[in-house]
Amino acid sequence: MELLKGADVVSALNAELKAVLVVSSYIPQLAIIRVGEKPDDLSYERGAIKRMNTIGLRCRSYVFEESISNQAFIKKFQEINADPEIDGILLLRPLPMHIDEAAIEQLIDPSKDVDGISPYNMAKLFAGDETGFAPCTAEAVLEMLDYAHISLAGKRVTIVGRSLVVGKPLAMLCIKRNATVTICHTKTVNIADTCRQAEILIACAGRARMLDASYTGEQAIVIDVGINMDQENKLCGDVDLDAIRQTAALATPVPGGVGTVTTSVLAKHVIQAAKRMGK
């Protein structure tokens, strides 16, 4: 089994984005909005800032106390949203329970919604309109497949997971590329049998090492989007990588796979957003 590592994809994508910036007189800017001090948010924020700096983009963080009221946060968000110096907005979620996240999704300027959280951009994605922004993690999967020169046209693709962050938008992206898509979830009967029929199997269920050899057909391509902590408190994916070595043809590792590509896709979206605004 061959490993498809995120670092190789990131290197190629970053070089492409840097080349775009070289011929531009404008440096786009990303706003990262964080509420509270959750370790996952802090880690993602650090990674995103580092990636923006590496590529040559500007990045500004807006940090609010977890105790901020819903009304106060919405007011601050609207100010950031309206700032002409901001080209893209990354809102770290989930927000604290007392903040109306659905209202924020409605408020965010679709042209700055570089992580595809607004209903407007989601509607564009489901309509096959490429002028919107898809969620970065979902698009990162396609970047991995493109780097490996794997075409989706006519392929049987099975996605394990149906979230609005990965599963559903990823299904739409694959259909746009003429794949035949099956979505599995916790209520799918005989899920392993269904997964074994896939030529490309994508795991985004959020269950540590859920997919083993019984889920993978011969020479399957397995993309692991999951980020979990196992019983030994070690980072792992939704796929048992050791268990599928004798069946799969290619797989992505966790850590070091799709997750590493996500922030480069974010940077790509920030550049696209600025261009679409005529900057």
Which one, of 186, 189, 202, lies nearest residue 237 by Cα? 202
SS3 77: helix
Q: Please check whether residue 101 lies inside any domain of the structure.
A: yes
Cis peptide before 94 (omega within 30 of 0): yes
The first and second tokens of residue 1, run together, are: 């089994």
Q: What is the pLDDT along the chain (279 residues), one digit of tens a residue?
A: 999 999 999 999 999 999 999 999 999 999 999 999 999 999 999 999 999 999 999 999 999 999 999 999 999 999 999 999 999 999 999 999 999 999 999 999 999 999 999 999 999 999 999 999 999 999 999 999 999 999 999 999 999 999 999 999 999 999 999 999 999 998 999 999 999 999 999 999 999 999 999 999 999 999 999 999 988 889 999 999 999 999 999 999 999 999 999 999 999 999 999 999 999
Q: Are residues 143 and 255 in the same domain?
A: yes
Q: Please check whether residue 165 lies inside any domain of the structure.
A: yes
Q: pTM of the full predicted structure? A: 0.96
Q: Please check whether residue 123 lies inside any domain of the structure.
A: no
Domain interval for residue 99: 26-115
The first and second tokens of residue 216, run together, are: 């993978």
The structure tokens 């309509």 sit at 127
Q: Please check whether residue 38 lies inside any domain of the structure.
A: yes
| pLDDT at position 195 | 98
Q: Are residues 42 and 93 in the same domain?
A: yes
Q: Are residues 97 and 160 in the same domain?
A: no
List the strands of the sheet with 58-64, edge to edge: 58-64, 29-35, 88-91
Q: Please check whether residue 269 lies inside any domain of the structure.
A: no
Q: Are residues 144 and 251 in the same domain?
A: yes
246 near 81, Cβ under 8 Å?
Answer: no
CATH of the domain at 54: 3.40.50.10860
What does DSSP assign to residue 96? Answer: P
Q: Are residues 102 and 156 in the same domain?
A: no
Q: Are residues 243 and 140 in the same domain?
A: yes
The first and second tokens of residue 144, run together, are: 């991995």
Q: Are residues 35 and 93 in the same domain?
A: yes
| Domain count across the chain | 2
CATH of the domain at 245: 3.40.50.720
Q: Residue 189: which residues within 8 A CB-CB, separation 6 or more?
A: none
